[in-house]
Amino acid sequence: MTKLDIVEKIKPLDLVRVLLKKKTRFPYQLIKEELALKADFQPNYFNWGRNAFYYLFKNLKFKKIGLPAFTCPTLVEAARAADKEVVLIETDLETFNLKTDNLSSDLQALVVVHTFGNPVDIKRIREENKNLFIIEDCAHSLFAKINGQYLGKEGEAVLFSFYKQVVNLNGSLLLFKKKLLKKQKQESDWDYLKRLIVKLAGPHQLFLNLKRHQYLPAIEPQGLSADKPSSLVFKLFALGLEKLKKEVEKRKQLADFYYQQVKQRSFLFAQRPTVNSEPSFYHFAVRLDPGLAYLRDKLVFKLRQKNIFLGRLWFNAPVSEKKGKKLHPFCPNSLLLSQSVFNLPIRSSYNREDIQFLFKQIDKTLREVKQ
């Protein structure tokens, strides 16, 4: 049985290989070539995507920033830290992406997230909102396509992650017309030693998993910092990117079998791909029937105890903030998504038996937590 775990581990041999490497190509060169990016951007490297957003937001003149109400809470935290007024925008229950049909005419800047690698048609948003400054968040969507084109070509600023689709420690690249910082310190290869041990494949994972059975993970807080990632992170990214293109193509094929499995279950709904798109399948995201949403966390927790590690992004989406309720317009879809979505691992190494096993375990465990 293949490991059913949303968190991919670094292979020790890969770690040794990259540590022995003297030189590597920079992520911007690699991404630019792979995705055939034309615009001439300045690459801005940051240790975390949230820090990239913070320095970008600080640099923008707009007072208000629009963000999806169902997204990573760190985006909203970055906007607030940069003294921006956050406008939460409702998301779609099927694609899990922004609903942009009714954007307010006074909104000047918008963060568009291709949620879990499901592309947003940014050209369409532009047709309807001529002067909008769009920040494209491709943290989950390397090698996803819309209308036959890779994503990452439409934003005035574009964010990529080095550790979400590629197994790595941290790191992000923000493309923008200028350099956001003149001087940056580079993190050392060993700054995240604990994280490296946790992410490294090996027998110690058996012990770590015993611990993982006892809690539901949350997004790790990270301090505000202007540092750029270590050279170890650059090297792991170069190695991972080489494999990712093929991996994404295989996931696109495997996804059909996941959709079939979801269709056979009346209590599950799969994230629907945007029209004319090919998602990257960062995860295979599903949501529980609204009547069962109250069981989502129990289900994910119980499955962990069976060594099946799923995600529940984003249980703490900005829309679920308690103190924010008065500040934001009511976004019922986003609230429901934050309560009912869970993320299944999808990898080219899985076969049909693995996927069937995963869905059968979901059925069985749901029955158990209902009792």
> DSSP characters for 131-199?
T-EEEEE-TT-TT-EETTEESSSS-SEEEEESSSSS--S--EEEEESS-S-S--PBPPTTTTHHHHHHH
CB of 76 to ligand PLP, least distance (A): 11
CB neighbour list of residue 306: distance below 8 Å, 6 or more residues apart: 361, 365
Token pair recorded at residue 29:
């060169």
Residue written as token pair 């009714």? 102
Q: What is the largest CA-CA distance in the chain?
A: 59
Partner residues linked to 65 by β-bridges? 86
Q: What's the distance, Cα to Cα, between the start and end of the chain in Å?
A: 28
State the Cα–Cα distance between residues 118 and 346, nearest whole angstrom.
14
CB of 166 to ligand PLP, least distance (A): 12
Instruction: State which residue, 341 or 355, has the beta carbon closest to ligand PLP.
Output: 341
State the Cα–Cα distance between residues 281 and 259, nearest whole angstrom.
12
Residues that bind ligand PLP (CB under 6 A): 48-50, 72, 74-75, 113, 137, 139-140, 161, 172
Instruction: State which residue, 99 or 298, has the beta carbon closest to ligand PLP.
Output: 99
Instruction: State which residue, 210 or 218, has the beta carbon closest to ligand PLP.
Output: 218
CB of 12 to ligand PLP, least distance (A): 24
CB neighbour list of residue 154: distance below 8 Å, 6 or more residues apart: 122, 123, 126, 134, 136
Instruction: State which residue, 113 or 125, has the beta carbon closest to ligand PLP.
Output: 113
> DSSP characters for 43-97?
EEEESSHHHHHHHHHHH---SEEEEESSS-HHHHHHHHHTTPEEEEE-B-TTT-S
Instruction: State which residue, 113 or 238, has the beta carbon closest to ligand PLP.
Output: 113
Checking DSSP bridges between strand 133-137 and strand 109-113, what pairing results, if any?
parallel
Instruction: State which residue, 72 or 151, has the beta carbon closest to ligand PLP.
Output: 72
CB of 163 to ligand PLP, least distance (A): 7
CB of 240 to ligand PLP, least distance (A): 15
Instruction: State which residue, 120 or 288, has the beta carbon closest to ligand PLP.
Output: 120
Instruction: State which residue, 2 or 186, has the beta carbon closest to ligand PLP.
Output: 186
State the Cα–Cα distance between residues 123 and 129, nearest whole angstrom.
10
CB of 294 to ligand PLP, least distance (A): 24
Instruction: State which residue, 24 or 165, has the beta carbon closest to ligand PLP.
Output: 165
CB of 275 to ligand PLP, least distance (A): 21
CB of 39 to ligand PLP, least distance (A): 20
**What is the dihedral sign for C-alpha 354, 358, 361, 367?**
negative
Residue nearest to ligand PLP (CB): 49
- As to burial, measured by CB atoms within 10 angstroms (0-12 exposed, 13-18 middle, 19+ buried), residue 1 is exposed
Q: Are 137 and 114 in contact (CB under 8 A)?
A: yes
Instruction: State which residue, 155 or 362, has the beta carbon closest to ligand PLP.
Output: 155
CB of 62 to ligand PLP, least distance (A): 19
State the Cα–Cα distance between residues 9 and 347, nearest whole angstrom.
12
- As to burial, measured by CB atoms within 10 angstroms (0-12 exposed, 13-18 middle, 19+ buried), residue 171 is buried
CB of 50 to ligand PLP, least distance (A): 4
The continuous run of DSSP H or E covering 367 comes out as helix 352-370
